[in-house]
Structure 1
Amino acid sequence: MTAVARIADDAQALAVAAELAAQFRKDAAERDARRRLPRTELDRLTASGLLALTVPAEFGGADVRSVTLAEIFRLLAAADASLAQIPQSHFVYVNVLRRQGTPDQREFFFREVLAGKRFGNAQSEAGTRHVQDIRTRLDRQADGSYVLTGVKHYSTGALFADWIPVLARTEDDSLHVAYVPRDAPGVTVDDDWDGMGQRTTASGTVRLDAVAVPADRVVPHHLTFAGPQLHGAVAQLLHAAIDTGIASGALAEAVEFVRTKSRPWFESGFETAAEDPLLIQRFGELSIQVRSAEALLGAAARSVDAARDDLTDDTAAAASVAVATAKVSAANAAVEVASALFEVSGTRSALDSLGLHRHWRDARTHTLHDPSRWKVQHIGRYVLNGTRPPRHGLL
């Protein structure tokens, strides 16, 4: 197994992420065009130590702040949004263990993460009444162990995982997470994802056919929502960071294209496209949108950090609303800026061989994860009436 570096602090984490993002950017369009899954790149990401950043300090991790983690995801997504999305669930399920794992579970799994083991996810299901209608079952056996049965879709990270956290319900219908080895008997991971965007996330199907699960690999996730919690805020913060990264990456591509490849419109009277006052105006507007999304992402991450230091119903609510605000802004910026890339760059930018359309396809696909319109509703209720957002893990 490849040796995994230990990252000491937030500053080192950001430096490592920036270096990797620069490397990943070089072949991102080619990976997307060929749908070449980023196994090599993900192994490099793992070996860098970045996937262990949120392991608590008492277990040997760097335990970086949410501000740092959000910026790392933004950097990676600006380079390759598919690659950035793969470890999103990894950090979510490290967070589940921090919150609800027993001391022995935390000791075991955090040691696994520090050694370079990756978590995937198997939570969403297709064909149910809604996203919270989880029908995968954990049936308790006489010896205290469980048998896991179900089918999961959109299982980002599962194909590349060492452990697959599975969201399931027990006989009393309470929600649990079962941490299952990727190669356990009865586990099948299908690479059948065919989305128009996020092509290389391998967000396929996980089939669980009477999978044996020891009792000490099951975590009572329903208890997470019994009191103030940041589970949803952390998960959504990383999604917001991915959208913000897509927006900033698309803007950077547009700037480079207009500076080096675009011809001026003949009526402008200028020698270069970059001198066109109408293009200058549009780039100013797009820059404001991207910088606004980046600022709101940073503010949301700081709110999550503040709540983590002093977790109450009020601080958790403030963090959730701040993250929801950032997510709405980031989703709008990602879709608009990735689309405007073609508006400002002209006809040549639409050539399939250039791969610039991946930014829009990634933005349009990733922003469908959960609807912004409901986030706006919760923001409005909080601002107008002081109503705290619900504890369901998607805020």
Structure 2
Amino acid sequence: MTAHVIADDAEALAVAAGLAEAFRTEAPLRDAERRLPYAELEQLSASGLLGVTVPADHGGADVRQETLAEVFRLLASADASLAQIPQNHFVYVNVLRRQGTTEQRKSFFGEVLEGRRFGNAQSEAGTRHVQDIRTRLLPLPDGSHELTGVKHYSTGALFADWIPVLARAEDDNLYVAYVPRDADGLTVVDDWDGMGQRTTASGTVRLDAVTVPADRVVPHHLTFQGPQLHGAVAQLLHAAIDAGIAGGALAEAAEFVRTKSRPWFESGVDTAAEDPLLIQRFGELDLQVRASEALLGVAARAVDAARDELTDASAAEASLAVAAAKAHTTATAVLVADALFEVAGTRAALDSLNLHRYWRDARTHTLHDPARWKIQHLGRHVLNGTRPPRHGLL
């Protein structure tokens, strides 16, 4: 595969805006018919966007997190499923940046710049909680490892060239094993049947004694032994997806009211767009979207500041800023996607229009992790000065 290499932040934003417009046209049909976006992901790879966080000394643009968040917001405003697929890609590029050896970074960053995609095999079902990881990475006599387990919600794995697998070693520490999609013993099952995010293919990955060379294993547990931004970066992108869903739903609602809705007979106006009550409601919704986008920008800049000078204090501020953005975008995405029907009226509920995809996507994606715990950490900090814990969901 030959991929374009994006030069800087401005080019990354321009490329993302162009792809969003291209992806928007067929988004309703892809969702309605569950057309998996193989062709669109090839476009994404060829565009060079997947390589924009590769460090400059490895040939990448190393864009700011503020830019990356805006890239995801733009893509999600067009197609939330398509935007979610590369979220884990960037998370696991970041893992290599933090804990990869010199040779691992050189090898994998080269793959990323060529357009190769990382999926994920992280979450498990039926365990005590989300961090109860039971997939095992066991040593073999020749220095390699054997990987065994079952993963669920494996967004992007079906489309990936490499599947990063979160596993525990004999000492119970967490590692990430980077496994090629076609490895012996690895099976990706397309069994995702969520009501929303239908084309993410967030299905099952089965690992049956998969052999992993030592140079494809990264000590992920070390990430959390000092100040870190792993969780903040991952959550920032989730917040950007939610902000994108909200913005996309608001734009769709406005277009529908302008072109398809009738005014209520008591309003005394000629078009629905002139109805003062609708104008008021759109203003309220726009205020919510603007607030979410503003908090997203604040959070992204906090992450960038912490990356420039990483300390316990800067990492904590980044995590809290992202927590605030994530809590707000969660509420806004669901609110605006629901209000679309309120302002657009009865016709908007026609299944053939598939406007409900915004609500289904918002309601599904915002279940990733509970916003109530974001608010808990904000409250603990503002009241008692308690810094947030170090983990991958904050």
TM-score (norm 2): 1.00
Between the aligned partners of 1:41 and 1:384, the Cα distance in structure 2 is 47
Q: Which amino acid aligns with 1:107?
A: K
| Runs of 5+ consecutive residues of structure 1 not aligned to the other structure | none
CA drift at 1:143: 1.7
Per-residue deviation, 1:300: 0.2
Measured in 2, the distance between the counterparts of 1:84 and 1:153 equals: 19
- Residue type at the aligned position of 1:346: G
Cα drift, residue 269 of structure 1: 1.0
Partners of 1:111 and 1:281 in 2: CA distance? 51
Structure 1 partner of 2:9: 10
Q: Which residue of 1 aligns with 2:64?
A: 65
Identity %: 79
Q: Quick check: 1:258 aligned with 2:257?
A: yes
Matched residue type, 2:343: V
Residue 379 of structure 1 corresponds to which residue in structure 2? 378
Q: CA RMSD in A?
A: 0.4
Q: Counterpart amino acid of 1:249? A: G
TM-superposed CA distance for 1:204, in Å, is 0.3
Question: Residue 266 of structure 2: SS of its match in structure 1?
Answer: helix
1-side partners of 2:142 and 2:222: how far apart?
Answer: 23
1:1-395 matches, cutoff 5 A: 1=1, 3-395=2-394
SS of 1:212's equivalent in the other structure is strand
State the secondary structure of the residue aligned to 2:343: helix
1:312-335 deviations in Å (ceiling 9; x for gaps): 000000000000000001000000
Question: Aligned with 2:208: secondary structure?
Answer: strand
Q: Post-superposition shift, 1:384?
A: 1.3
Provide the C-alpha distance between the structure 2 equivalents of 1:116 and 1:393, rounded to a whole number of angstroms.
26
Tell me the CA shift for residue 142 of structure 1: 1.5
Aligned partners of 2:179, 2:12: CA distance in 1, in Å? 29
Residues 203-255 of structure 1, C-alpha deviation per residue, up to 9 Å, x if partnerless?
00000000000001000000000000000000000000000000000000000
- CA deviation profile, 1:94-129 (whole Å, cap 9, x unmatched): 000000000000000000101111100000000000
Aligned equivalents of 1:195, 1:391: Cα separation in 2: 30
For residues 49 and 392 of structure 2, the distance between their equivalents in structure 1, rounded to whole angstroms, comes to: 24
State how far apart, in whole Å, the 1-side matches of 2:298 and 2:41 are. 29
User: Counterpart of 1:283 in structure 2: which amino acid?
Assistant: F
Further displaced range: 380-389 or 226-235: 380-389
Q: What code does the residue aligned with 1:207 have?
A: R
Question: What's the offset of the Cα at 1:352?
Answer: 0.6
User: Whole-Å Cα distance in 2 between the matches of residues 308 and 207 of structure 1?
Assistant: 35
SS of the equivalent of 1:267 reads: coil
**What secondary structure, in the 3-state scheme, does the structure 2 residue paired with 1:172 have?**
coil
Provide the C-alpha distance between the structure 2 equivalents of 1:15 and 1:116, rounded to a whole number of angstroms: 18
Q: One-letter code of the match for 2:191?
A: D
Q: Secondary structure at the match of 2:125?
A: coil
User: Cα distance, 1:340 vs. partner?
Assistant: 0.1
Letter in 1 for 2:111: E
User: What residue identity is the alignment partner of 1:37?
Assistant: L
Q: Which amino acid aligns with 1:204?
A: G
SS at match of 1:265: coil
Distance 1:392 1:74 in 2: 24
Partners of 1:15 and 1:143 lie apart in 2 by: 48
Per the alignment, in what secondary structure is the counterpart of residue 167 of structure 1?
Answer: strand
Structure 1 residue 392: deviation in Å? 1.2
| Unmatched tracts of structure 2, length 5 or more | none
Aligned residue for 1:47, secondary structure, equals helix
Deviation above 2 Å: which 4+ runs of structure 1? none
Distance in 2 (alpha carbons) for counterparts of 1:347 and 1:38 = 31
Q: Distance in 2 between matches of 1:251 and 1:295?
A: 16
Q: Distance in 2 between matches of 1:334 and 1:327?
A: 10
**Aligned residue identity for 1:90:** H
Question: Which amino acid is the alignment partner of residue 276 of structure 2?
Answer: P
Q: Which amino acid aligns with 1:192?
A: D
* Counterpart Cα distance in 2 of 1:300 and 1:116: 28
Amino acid at match of 1:28: A
Instruction: Give the superposition deviation at 1:39.
Output: 0.6
Amino acid across the alignment from 1:242: I
**Superimposed CA distance per residue, residues 1-39 of structure 1 (whole angstroms, 9 cap, x where no aligned partner):** 3x2101000000000100110010001001000000011
SS in 2 for 1:147: strand
Query: What CA distance in whole angstroms lies between the structure 2 residues aligned with 1:229 and 1:114?
Result: 25
**Distance across 2 between alignment mates of 1:20 and 1:386:** 43
